C-alpha cells in the first residue's frame, strides 16, 4: 500500500482500507461475504481494500463497522502510529484467570493457523486448570 502523509487527504482512505481488511479477516470473512452482508457489490469492497485510492462515503464505512461489529472509530485508527498496545488479554473459559499475551507471540500463531486454513485467533491451554485461554476482545488484535 502506498504511504500517504497525514497531511494528505488520501491518508485516511489508506488507513480505513487497511482496517476494513484487517477486521474482515479477523471475523473470518471473505470479501464476498462482507459485500453480501452490507448489500454492496464485490467490486466496491475490492476497491475499498485495494492499494489504489478509491473514495467511499462515511455511510458505507459506518455500515461496514456495524456488520463487522467494530466501533466506527476503530476503522479510522492508524495502527501504524498507535503501537502502545503490546499485549492482548486472554481469559480462561473455565477458571477465569487473566493472562496478558504478547501480541508478537499471538501473531506467530495466527500465521501458523492461517497456513492450516483456520481464520480464528489462537487459543491456549490454561496452566491453572484444564480450560482454554481465549482472547477477551479479539477486535483489539
* Range 51-55 average pLDDT: 76
| 134, 79 contact by CB (below 8 A) | no
> Residue 107 belongs to what H/E stretch?
helix 103-115
Residue 82 has pLDDT above 60, yes or no: no
The more confidently predicted of residues 87 and 91 is: 91
Pick the CATH number of 10-75 from 1.10.3720.10, 1.10.260.40, 3.30.460.80, 2.60.120.260: 1.10.260.40
pLDDT of amino acid 117: 80
Q: Nearest 5°: phi and psi at 65?
A: -60, -40
Residue spans in the chain of domains classed CATH 1.10.260.40 = 10-75
Q: Is pTM beyond 0.75 here?
A: no
pLDDT digits (tens, 9 = 90+) for 1-43: 446 666 667 788 889 999 999 999 999 999 999 999 999 999 9
What does the DSSP 8-state code read for residue 138?
G
Residue 101: what pLDDT?
A: 84
Amino acid at each position: 500500500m502506498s504511504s500517504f502523509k497525514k497531511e494528505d487527504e488520501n491518508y485516511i482512505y489508506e488507513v480505513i482500507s487497511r482496517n476494513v481488511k484487517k477486521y474482515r479477516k479477523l471475523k473470518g470473512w471473505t470479501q464476498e461475504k462482507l459485500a453480501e452482508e452490507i448489500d454492496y457489490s464485490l467490486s466496491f469492497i475490492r476497491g475499498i481494500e485495494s492499494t489504489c485510492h478509491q473514495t467511499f462515503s462515511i455511510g458505507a464505512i459506518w455500515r461496514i463497522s456495524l456488520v463487522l461489529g467494530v466501533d466506527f472509530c476503530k476503522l479510522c485508527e492508524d495502527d501504524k502510529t498507535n503501537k502502545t498496545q503490546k499485549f492482548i488479554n486472554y481469559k480462561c473459559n473455565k477458571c477465569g484467570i487473566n493472562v496478558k499475551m504478547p501480541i508478537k507471540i499471538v501473531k506467530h500463531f495466527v500465521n501458523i493457523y492461517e497456513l492450516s486454513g483456520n481464520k480464528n485467533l489462537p487459543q491456549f491451554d490454561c496452566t491453572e486448570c484444564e480450560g482454554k485461554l481465549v482472547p477477551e476482545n479479539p477486535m483489539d488484535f
